[in-house]
Amino acid sequence: MLELIDVHAGYGRTEVIHGVSLTVPDDSVVAVMGHNGAGKTTLLRTAVGLIGAKSGRLEFNGEPITKLSPSRRVRRGIAYVPQGQQSFPQLTTAENLQVVADGRKRGKALIDESLDLFPALRELLPRKAGLLSGGQRQQLAIARALITEPTLLILDEPTEGIQPSVVAEIERTIIDLTRRGGLSVLLVEQHIGFALQAAQRYYILQSGRVTSSGAGGAGAESTVRSAMAI
Ligand SMILES: Nc1ncnc2c1ncn2[C@@H]1O[C@H](COP(=O)(O)OP(=O)(O)OP(=O)(O)O)[C@@H](O)[C@H]1O
Ligand SMILES: [Mg+2]
């Protein structure tokens, strides 16, 4: 379980996150929604430790992680897939997976398990990641994150800028992943329909503050849309 308790964070002297508290229980999907610039990415960066909290606390599985480096948080079981389908463009798909698997006892098996989730990547293994489509790169980024055997997967707009047929595939995989148990997901997502379909709980972030939260599910869509005033 991840808990953020009254977290303040930002860049330099500028505070962007003004006292956010949220909980991601085990085996559940929590969606964070909000307009461009609301602070969603900043919140996720704070959760993974790329940005230090100015005040407030973070706990993972009941232990404080506020002062832990990103690599230590990864070792505790937190994986992060940043916005924008990032990968090593000069490395092949296979090498992008191998880089993460290197040094892990079950490295090869973990690559195989990831590829089972994204079978389309198998035929792309020899191709440079920089030549993949946005959707393929997103699948690669999630596959890579899963090789670290996370119990919490943090995804920043996994369907952004991706063609609809691939969006559906990525959405299905995310939902399947969480149904197998042992993994929770903190999901930032602009597609409200998908976010609520996947999530047991949602939070709406506006100007760095949680202005509304509630149970997920398709029934919450009209509430969320009016809370976001769209
Ligand atoms: N590296 C940075 N340095 C200074 N300010 C930043 C930096 N990154 C983001 N910001 C500012 O922080 C605020 C929140 O940005 P953030 O990227 O967290 O929003 P977001 O909700 O993820 O938006 P989007 O939906 O466009 O991805 C914005 O005002 C942005 O200009
Ligand atoms: Mg963002």
Please tell me if the CB atom of residue 39 comes closer than 6 angstroms to any atom of ligand 1: yes
Please tell me if the CB atom of residue 198 comes closer than 6 angstroms to any atom of ligand 1: no
pLDDT at 230: 63
Check: CB of residue 42 under 8 Å from CB of residue 230.
Answer: no
For residue 83, the tally of other CB atoms under 10 A from its CB is 16
CATH code, domain with 188? 3.40.50.300
Nearest CA, atom 4, ligand 1: 11
Kindly list the protein residues that place their beta carbon closer than 5 angstroms to ligand 2, a single-atom ion: 40-41, 83
Please tell me if the CB atom of residue 17 comes closer than 6 angstroms to any atom of ligand 1: no
Q: Residues with Cβ < 8 Å from 93, sequence gap 6 or more?
A: 121, 124, 125, 126, 127, 128, 129, 132, 140
Instruction: Kindly give the interhelix angle for 107-117 and 93-101, rounded to the nearest 10 degrees.
Output: 130
pLDDT at 170: 86
- What is the distance, to the nearest Å, from the Cα of residue 30 to the centroid of all Cα atoms in its chain? 10
Nearest CA, atom 9, ligand 1: 42
Q: Which atom of ligand 1 is nearest to the CA of 83?
A: 27
Percent of the chain scoring above 90 in pLDDT: 83
Cα–ligand 1 centroid distance for 192 (angstroms): 20
Residue range(s) defining the domain that contains residue 213: 2-227
Cα–ligand 1 centroid distance for 36 (angstroms): 8
Amino acid at 158: P
Check: CB of residue 225 under 8 Å from CB of residue 212.
Answer: no
Among 72, 83, 81, 160, residue whose Cα is nearest residue 114: 81
Q: Structure pTM?
A: 0.95
Please tell me if the CB atom of residue 34 comes closer than 6 angstroms to any atom of ligand 1: yes
Q: Is the pLDDT of residue 158 over 80?
A: yes
Number of domains in the chain: 1
pLDDT, tens digit, 9 for 90 and up, residues 88-100: 999 999 999 999 9
pLDDT band at 78 (very low <50, low <70, confident <90, very high): very high
